[in-house]
Chains A and B, each alone.
Chain A
Amino acid sequence: MSAAEQQTGARGPTIRERLLQSQEGIVFLLAVVAFLAFSILLPSFLSSGNLLVLVRSVSILGILALGMALVVIARGIDVSMIAVMVVSVSWAFVITRAGYPFELALLIGASFAMLAGIMIGTLIAFGEVPPIFATLAAGSVIYGTGRTFFFTLEMQNVPPDTEWFRLIGQGNVFGIPVTVVAFALLCVVVQLVLRRTRFGWMTYAMGNNPNTARVSGLPTRPMIVAQYASTALIAYVAGLILASSAAAINARLFNSTMIYDILLVVVLGGIGLNGGHGSVRNVILGTVFVGILLNGMTIMNIDYTIQNLVKGVVLLLAIVVDSLVNPRDEQTSQQGDL
Chain B
Amino acid sequence: MMSGLFTKALLAAVALAASLSVAGAQDKGLENPRSTAFHTSLKDKKVVFVPLSMGFDLTEGWAAQMRKQADRLGYSFDIRDPAWSTDAGTKAIQSLITEKPDLMVIHNPDIQSYARLLKQAQAAGIKIVQINLESNTTTDSYVGADWTEIGRKAAEAIVEKCDAGKGVSTKVAIDTGVPTAASDVFQLDGIYKVLNEHPDIQVVSQQATEYNPEKARSIMSTVLQQHGDLCGAIGIWDNQDTGTASAIKEAGKSDQVFLVTSGGGNQVGCENVKNGLFNLYISYNVPLQGDLLNQEIVRLLLSDGTAGEVQTMYFNPLTMITKNNVNQRNCWTLDELK
Contacts and interface: CB of A to CB of B under 8 A. Distances in A.
Interface of A: 43-44, 47, 49-50, 53-54, 56-57, 60, 147, 152-155, 157, 160, 170, 242, 245-253, 255-257, 294-295, 298-299, 301, 304-305
17 contacts: A43-B226, A54-B222, A56-B221, A57-B221, A147-B55, A155-B57, A170-B250, A245-B214, A246-B217, A247-B243, A250-B211, A252-B84, A298-B218, A301-B207, A304-B176, A304-B208, A305-B179
Contact of A246 (B205, B214, B222): B214
B76 interface: no
B219 interface: yes
Contact of A155 (B54, B83, B239): B239
Interface string B207-233: 110111110111101110110000000
A52 to B, nearest CB: 9
B222 A298 contact: yes
Interface in B31-81: 53-57, 60
A298 B223 contact: yes
Given A53-B225, A245-B217, A246-B217, 11 more contacts: A49-B225, A57-B218, A153-B60, A155-B213, A170-B250, A242-B214, A246-B216, A247-B213, A295-B222, A298-B207, A298-B223
A305 to B, nearest CB: 7
A57 B222 contact: yes
B55 A251 contact: yes
Contacts of B213: 155, 246-250
Given A248-B213, A250-B239, A301-B204, A153 B55 contact: yes
B134 to A, nearest CB: 21
B242 interface: yes
A245 B55 contact: no
Interface of B: 53-57, 60, 83-85, 176, 178-179, 204-208, 210-214, 216-219, 221-223, 225-226, 239-240, 242-243, 245-246, 249-250, 268, 271, 277, 334
Nearest to B213: A246
Central interface residue in B54, B176, B222, by most chain A CB within 10 Å:
B222
Contacts of A251: 55
B210 to A, nearest CB: 6
A304 B242 contact: no
A247 B246 contact: yes
Contacts of B242: 157, 246-248
Nearest to B210: A256
B51 to A, nearest CB: 12
A166 B205 CA distance: 27
Nearest to B205: A301
A246 B246 contact: yes
B261 to A, nearest CB: 13
Nearest to A241: B214
Contact of B226 (A50, A155, A253): A50
Contact of A301 (B55, B206, B240): B206
B233 to A, nearest CB: 14
Contacts of B277: 247
B219 A298 contact: yes
B214 A53 contact: no
Contacts of B57: 153, 155
B225 A44 contact: yes
Contacts of B178: 304
Nearest to B177: A304
Contacts of B207: 298, 301, 304
A47 B221 CA distance: 13
Contacts of A257: 210
A154 B55 contact: yes
A242 B242 CA distance: 12
A252 B212 contact: yes
A49 B227 CA distance: 12
A155 B210 CA distance: 14
Nearest to B83: A255
Nearest to A166: B246
A50 B334 contact: no
Contacts of B83: 255
A246 B243 contact: yes
A170 B277 CA distance: 15
Contacts of B239: 155, 248, 250
A153 B56 contact: yes
Contacts of B219: 298
A252 B212 CA distance: 8
A250 B219 CA distance: 17
Contacts of B84: 252, 255
A95 B223 CA distance: 35
A43 B228 CA distance: 13
Nearest to B207: A298
Contacts of B222: 50, 53-54, 57, 295, 298-299
A155 B221 contact: no
Nearest to B178: A304
B82 to A, nearest CB: 11
A245 B179 contact: no
Given A44-B226, A153-B56, A170 B212 contact: no
A50 B218 CA distance: 11
Contacts of A56: 218, 221
Given A53-B225, A154-B55, A248 B243 contact: yes
B218 A299 contact: no
A298 B223 CA distance: 8
A295 B222 CA distance: 7
Given A60-B214, A147-B55, A170-B246, A152 B334 contact: yes
A250 B56 CA distance: 10
B225 to A, nearest CB: 4
A68 to B, nearest CB: 18
A148 to B, nearest CB: 10
A245 B205 contact: no
A154 B56 contact: yes
A308 B226 CA distance: 22
A145 to B, nearest CB: 13
Contacts of B250: 170
